[in-house]
Amino acid sequence: MDRTHEQEEIVQMWERMETAIQLGKIDQFRAEFLELHPYDQATFFKEQAKEIRLKIYTYLSPEEMAEIIENIGVDELDPILTEMEPRFASQILGEMSTDDAVDVLNTMDQNEVASFLTIMDKDAASEIKDLLHYEEKTAGSIMTTEFVVVNTGMTVRDAMVHLRKEAPDAETIYYVYVVNQEKHLVGVISLRDLIISEEDWFISDIMSDRIVSVPVGENQEDVAKMVRDYDFLALPVVDFQNHLLGIITVDDIMDVMEEEASEDYSKFAAVADMEKDLNAFSAAKKRLPWLIILLFLGMLTASLIGRFEDTINQVALLAVFIPLIAGMAGNTGTQSLAIAVRGIATGEIEKEGKVKLLIREAGTGLITGTCCGFLITIIIYLWKGHFFLGLLVGISIMFTLIVATVAGAIIPLLMHKMKVDPAVASGPFITTINDLISVLIYFGMATIFMELLLH
């Protein structure tokens, strides 16, 4: 089936479901809707007007709605949950995976959370409350308590009976975790190993005791790196006494990676958390502090240029090349900054070594600076017929690119060492710093070699 034909079929299915909703044909709607993948169900649901969604709530059970809600972004859920009848919304939250329900509740104020937990099923509310206590962006805040655990004293037969009983409520069954009598995590068995083992074998004999786990307070970004490095589908979370508290599944890790990437990109542009702003005033309120800092740094650059007023008055043509040199410094500094921040975020710098990174960036700056400096010297000589002016600009660009490249790498490294998020060494910040450096180099050299420029 070609792509166009498949899309036409989807459109026709959507039209049939919309017609069934409007005509109140519940069975027809459910027959087609429940055949869709949960992601497609969520996509259809989000596209509907409020009056259609209100009808859908009466056609689906809380369990069926929970699967839809889990496939909708947390930031899109506020209008959806508020339009539902509160008890129905609480039932949906109770049917969701515990970690997903916690993510949703974390976006609400405390009064709303308390209201939902009060009318929610007692067992579901208890599990959610336990996770709500963990600090945001830690392993505890993204783990789920819906997993399968067996005891070391069980046989494979006992474990399979237990697995069949617990599997419907578990988020994943590909890993079965093993605890001892004191509830300490002591091993793990893959579902494959469990299936191919003899029924009378003991779990303690076939389990793997080489377990990779994370503390409950571990940063979620570090957890994501571990899942990536080890190619796990799930990762156990333990407390300081090695009691098994929950697991983190790969789908949650994908959400974390998307969240961290988005956050780092926002910080890199000096507009962190801007995606949640709903109006111009709140957006401006968050951007203004950064812009004011950059404004004062820009004034330093202007003040520095003012100190070389006599130099500019003697050779006015020097002013023409200020944007060129400052722009080149900002560009190469931002490139180097991006490499350093990415290396810190992925852990590559720890493997490569900070000194090696700085040497590599200095070498890169030297090569690119030499090439650009040579090229601009020739261009200015052919354009203005002034060899020493071209040489001055060329040498300035060479030294500027070397310094700016090293600065772009060293600033995030210093911030990381001081336990400050290196992503805040954003593009605008490093660009402004490099403007200062480039102006100082350019006009400093022009002042020193003024006699050659006047001939």
pLDDT for 7 beyond 90: no
Provide the 8-state DSSP code for 317.
G
Residue-level pLDDT at 275? 47
Break the chain into its structural domains and give their ranges.
3-133, 149-249, 274-453
Query: Would you call 199 exposed, middle or buried from its count of C-beta atoms within 10 A (0-12, 13-18, 19+)?
Result: exposed
**Higher-scoring residue by pLDDT: 322, 297:** 322
Residue-level pLDDT at 157? 94
CA 122 to CA 408: how far, in whole Å? 54
Q: Do residues 424 and 289 touch, judged by C-beta distance below 8 A?
A: no
Q: Do residues 138 and 216 touch, judged by C-beta distance below 8 A?
A: yes
CATH superfamily, with its number, for domain 149-249: CBS-domain (3.10.580.10)
Sheet architecture: strand order including 149-151: 149-151, 175-179, 185-190
Mean pLDDT of all residues in the chain?
83
Confidence grade of residue 3 (pLDDT, cut at 50, 70, 90): low
Confidence grade of residue 285 (pLDDT, cut at 50, 70, 90): confident
Q: Hey, what are 112's tokens?
A: 């709303």
Cα distance between the two ends of the chain: 77
| Cα–Cα distance list, 159 to 173, 245, 278, 295, 383 (Å) | 12, 20, 51, 66, 82
Provide the 8-state DSSP code for 233.
S
CATH superfamily, with its number, for domain 274-453: SLC41 divalent cation transporters, integral membrane domain (1.10.357.20)
CA 418 to CA 415: how far, in whole Å? 5
Q: Hey, what are 387's tokens?
A: 């060899």
Taking the CB of residue 1, how many other CB atoms lie within 10 A of it? 6
Q: Do residues 147 and 171 touch, judged by C-beta distance below 8 A?
A: yes
- The residues near 37 (Cβ < 8 Å, ≥ 6 apart) are none
Residue carrying the six token digits 């009064």: 111
Residue-level pLDDT at 187? 94
Provide the 8-state DSSP code for 90.
H
pLDDT for 425 beyond 70: no
**Higher-scoring residue by pLDDT: 85, 424:** 85
| Cα–Cα distance list, 309 to 312, 354, 357, 450, 455 (Å) | 5, 40, 38, 13, 20
CA 263 to CA 343: how far, in whole Å? 16
Taking the CB of residue 295, how many other CB atoms lie within 10 A of it? 11
Q: How many residues does the chain have?
A: 455
Helix (H) or strand (E) holding 178: strand 175-179
Q: Hey, what are 450's tokens?
A: 């003024």
Residues 38-60 pLDDT 10s? 899 999 999 898 999 999 999 99
Q: What percent of the chain is modeled with pLDDT above 90?
A: 27
Residues 205-242 pLDDT 10s? 999 999 999 999 998 888 988 888 888 889 999 998 99
Instruction: Lowest mean pLDDT of 32-41, 229-238, 385-394, name the range.
Output: 385-394
- The residues near 206 (Cβ < 8 Å, ≥ 6 apart) are 156, 189, 193, 194, 197
Q: Is 185 helix (H, G, I), strand (E, B) or coil?
A: strand
Q: What single-letter amino acid sits at 366?
A: L
| Cα–Cα distance list, 369 to 100, 333, 357, 382, 394 (Å) | 51, 12, 18, 20, 8
CA 385 to CA 391: how far, in whole Å? 12
CA 2 to CA 93: how far, in whole Å? 39
pTM for the model stands at 0.59
Q: Do residues 33 and 17 touch, judged by C-beta distance below 8 A?
A: yes
| Cα–Cα distance list, 202 to 139, 156, 187, 271 (Å) | 31, 6, 13, 56
Fold equal for 3-133 and 274-453: no
CA 375 to CA 398: how far, in whole Å? 11
One CATH from 3.30.750.200, 3.40.190.10, 1.25.60.10, 3.40.50.300 for 3-133: 1.25.60.10
CA 320 to CA 340: how far, in whole Å? 32
